[in-house]
Chain A
Amino acid sequence: MINFPVIRRLWIEGYQVFDNEYSSGIEHVFDGGVHLIIGVNGLGKTTLLNILYRLLTGPKDLRKSDKTSLAATQHSLSKWRSTDYFRSRVANDAKGSVAAVEAQFGGRKIYIKRALRNLEIVKLVVDGQERDAGEDEYTKAVEELSGLSSFFDFFALLRYLVFFLEDRAELIWDTRSQFEMLRILFYDKESSIAASTEYDTAQKKDSAYRNLHAAIKERRDRLKLLEPRNDGEAEIIAQFELAEKALEGLRAKDDDLAQRHEDLRSSIDARRLRREKLALELEEARFNYEYEQQGLFRGLFPDITDAAEYVFRQLASGGGCIVCGNHSPNVGAKLVEAVHQGKCPVCESPKERHENIVPYTDVSIKRVERLREKIEELENDINAQDESIIDEDKELRELLVAREQLIEPINHHRRQVNLLRRRLPREGELQETRNFIDLKEKELFRFERERTEAENNYLRIKEQNEKTLDDKINRVIKSFNRIAESLLAERCELAKSSVTRRIGEGGINMEFPCFVVQMTSGVFSRFPQSRENAASVSESQREFIDLAFRMALIEVATENTTPAMLVLETPEASLDSVFVAQASALFREFSAGCGGTNLFLASTNLNQGELIPQMLGLHSPPTSNEELIIPPVEERKMRVINLLERAAPNATYKAHKEHYDALFRKAVFPDLEEQT
């Protein structure tokens, strides 16, 4: 049997929320029974409840994934994300603020003091023996005192059973959470430890299995891309090599053409230069030739016009006929011959027939002939250069055409090569992928094996505890049905059911016992209908169904032999006014359990309602036939933490102090009020 934590004493010192001109801090003794934290909005009710909660849990929290379903991942806690919760509510950063509780676990006691700034343990005393003030030591102590298998289980107990705070963490609507709580409460310690260990192992292995499976799948998909190619890999390689060779060949051909192009270009440039030089030389040779002959024409035509002289000079020097445009060097041959033979250049009559007996200017025939030959030579050279230039230019143009024709095939082969190159697997990639898959599949089988082993172990433990659990489940149902009557108008019952699921996402399917809520309604008024989830009931019904479930679990778990505690935040928020008395009676009944050592602690707002007086037992429920025993005033004072007196007053209270004080007196001390 486990021992529930029951807070017996509370101290809060140096915390500005509970500091005013009349008092500093809070000190309260929680003997058995109903205790109330009374205040108005903003005075610190929630903060006080959270102090109590965090004193026991420390700076830990459930993992995000476990908040909707207990132990959805692992039986482990994470760091509390809101460590500035208490210091953010005060101006001095909670420097020097401490809180301490003394809690009972069955017959044993623990004292824990924490700094509110960061929840660091300041002091830890177990059964009067001081221990190292550290979380590890505290965790160990709690496991020891509670009899629970782990601190995770203790945390779950606090969150889902003991403390019913503003966030209303619910158990009843999630079958996984239900079963976890059944394990925590009803398995023996050894089985509980073993079950959660095997459960965690199965989860871990399942997670590892899934991750590795995904990685292997990714490689397999890659292999699918590589393998068909691999079957034709030889062909692809052959194609690739062929395409590369063809491209190389074309490039080589293009290089050759380019080289030839360069050579031709250079040759043409050289020829052109030579030709121009020859042309200049020719000009000069002609001028020389003309010069040698100019005396003749001066003699023949002393007064020839410049234009005519120009024409004759050109003709005589072999420069062609500028009259008709005949550029042939032979066009003046007759004229030249006539001149050389002393004949008349116009009518070709011989020297003896000429009237003019004055000899011509003495022309050196030999020199003229030599010049003539030179001119001919130059003209031949120029012609040869011209012909070569024309031929080379033609060849150059053909080369350009040939190169142009290579462009498309080169591009085509380049594209081909690139395409084939992409299709070739990276060197070794195929083998590498296969190796990876082989290796990882072995690991995958190992994970699967280990998961299955853990699952089988878990199953075995479950089966071992099945009978005990079944008995407990029946008792919980019975308790619930009774408790629910006091909280809900509709007929609300629990029914036994089962759900098949796996521990992780993969693995063996297992059957888990669970509870199903069945309730009547306006529509189904005769027989209760199953309510599968929270959305199928109203908000207030939902809260009280969960509360009833918690109370039923606690009742069965403690069997009234060890004290228990229930902490409830503002129950009036969801409680129908008709049920205030009944619910209050139920809460008082709870607190009267285990010889009156159970503790029911609730925070409540001051209002005109009946809740506070009912909770304190100042009025009897309408249906009760029992004699009303009104607790003495002193006892009531000891059962109430009056935040109107204890907390730093806020604007609401300051503005309506008298009203609220009067309300308080009326709620807690109605008998005194009547007397006055």
Chain B
Amino acid sequence: MERPVLARRAWLLLFMDAAERNLITPIKISDVHRLVYLANSTAPIFRLPVLEGYLVKNRRGPYFPSLSWDIGRLVGQGLIDPSEIELTKDEIGTWLDGKIQLNTRGMAVCDRICEYPFMKEVSAYLREFMRAYAGLNGESPAMLSDCDIHYDTVSFGLPVITGSDHNLANEAAEALLLDYRVPTSREKLHRYLRYLNYCEIGGEDAA
């Protein structure tokens, strides 16, 4: 049941690094969950495995309890800095939010991580992902993740599975590109996120 801890945290650090490089920093913890979800969901477009492919659809959007712990650990290890940590109460319940940001120690660790070829590949993908997200004019990722093909088609309280065997992101991205040539992975990723953005803006009409 437990994913390899180090791999998960390394992935998270690279994710924070990609956000930092695209000036999406500091980043809200709730947005981290949503973007981590999206980045996992679209990883097969770049032929990368899905690290976290199972979660329960809840009213606050994609949320990974284990991610919450990993963020805490990276804070405890002094690799990312939290800010504006606050517990809030709303109609759903009590929730913790705040912002986090990669610090210099964290950046140094990212450089070490990228010495591994596979992690370098993951880093390249996450940077592309963040670049694509950044190109959406800073829109909140809340509706983006909700429009994702896997999340959107499941009812609340039921599992959202984006594991490699069940992942449809690549097919969805290819369907959006009706060229008579083979699109690149980069084209597919950008096109897919832009499509999710259109869904967010215009709802069904935009789709």
Contacts and interface: CB of A to CB of B under 8 A. Distances in A.
Contacts of B96: 287, 290, 313
Contacts of B78: 307
Contact of A291 (B56, B81, B94): B94
Interface string A274-293: 00110110111001101100
B76 A294 contact: no
A287 B56 contact: no
A322 interface: yes
Contacts of B83: 306
B4 interface: no
B82 interface: yes
Residue of A277, A279, A310, A325 with most chain B CB atoms under a 10 A cut-off: A310
Nearest to A277: B56
Contacts of A320: 69, 72
Contact of A310 (B58, B65, B72, B95): B72
Contacts of B69: 319-320, 322, 327
Contact of A273 (B56, B58, B89): B56
A319 B72 CA distance: 10
A324 B66 CA distance: 16
Nearest to B81: A307
Interface string A537-554: 000000000000000000
The DSSP consensus for interface residues of chain A is helix
Interface in B89-106: 89, 93-96, 98
Given A283-B65, A287-B87, A307 B82 contact: yes
A449 interface: no
A310 B54 contact: no
Nearest to A323: B76
A118 interface: no
A99 interface: no
Interface residues of B, number: 30
A420 interface: no
A306 B72 contact: no
B158 to A, nearest CB: 7
B157 interface: yes
Contacts of A291: 87, 89, 94
Contacts of A324: 76
Interface in B148-193: 157-159
B1 interface: yes
A516 B56 CA distance: 111
A314 interface: yes
B142 interface: no
A313 B76 contact: no
Nearest to A311: B76
A284 B97 CA distance: 12
Given A282-B65, A291-B87, A307-B82, A276 B56 contact: yes
Contacts of A273: 56, 158-159
B27 interface: no
Contacts of A272: 54, 159
A386 interface: yes
Given A283-B65, A287-B94, A306-B82, A276 B54 contact: yes
A287 B89 CA distance: 9
Interface centre among B66, B73, B84, B98 (most CB of A within 10 A): B73
A158 interface: no
A288 B95 CA distance: 8
B82 A390 contact: no
A276 B84 contact: no
A321 interface: yes
Best-buried of B54, B73, B82, B96 by chain A (most CB within 10 Å): B96
Given A272-B54, A307-B81, A386 B1 contact: yes
B168 to A, nearest CB: 19
Contacts of B157: 277
B55 interface: yes
Contacts of A381: none
A309 interface: yes
A623 B49 CA distance: 120
Contacts of A269: 159
B85 A310 contact: yes
Nearest to A279: B65
B55 A389 contact: no
A307 B82 CA distance: 6
A284 B56 CA distance: 14
A310 B82 contact: yes
Contacts of B54: 272, 276
Contact of A322 (B65, B76, B84, B89): B76
Contact of B95 (A276, A287, A322, A386): A287
Contacts of A280: 56, 58, 63, 65
B64 to A, nearest CB: 9
B68 interface: yes
A279 B93 CA distance: 15
B8 to A, nearest CB: 13
Contacts of B199: none
B93 A322 contact: no
A130 B200 CA distance: 113
B94 A306 contact: no
B24 interface: no
Contacts of B113: none
Contacts of A306: 81-85, 98
Contacts of B93: 284, 287-288
Nearest to B80: A307
B55, B65, B68, B75: residue with the most chain A Cβ atoms closer than 10 Å: B65
B55 A276 contact: yes
A284 B95 contact: yes
Interface string B32-65: 0000000000000000000000111010000101
Nearest to B160: A276
Q: Which of B1, B58, B85, B87 has the most CB of A within 10 A?
A: B87
A161 to B, nearest CB: 89
A622 to B, nearest CB: 104
B76 A325 contact: yes
Interface string A250-282: 000000000000000000010011001101101
Given A306-B82, A314-B72, A393-B1, 7 more contacts: A294-B87, A306-B84, A310-B72, A310-B75, A319-B69, A321-B76, A322-B69
21 contacts: A269-B159, A273-B56, A276-B55, A277-B157, A280-B63, A282-B65, A283-B65, A283-B68, A284-B94, A287-B93, A288-B94, A306-B83, A306-B98, A307-B82, A310-B72, A310-B85, A313-B87, A320-B72, A322-B76, A325-B73, A390-B1
Pick the 10 closest A-B CB pairs, nearest first: A322-B76, A322-B72, A279-B65, A287-B94, A288-B94, A291-B87, A276-B56, A323-B76, A306-B82, A287-B96
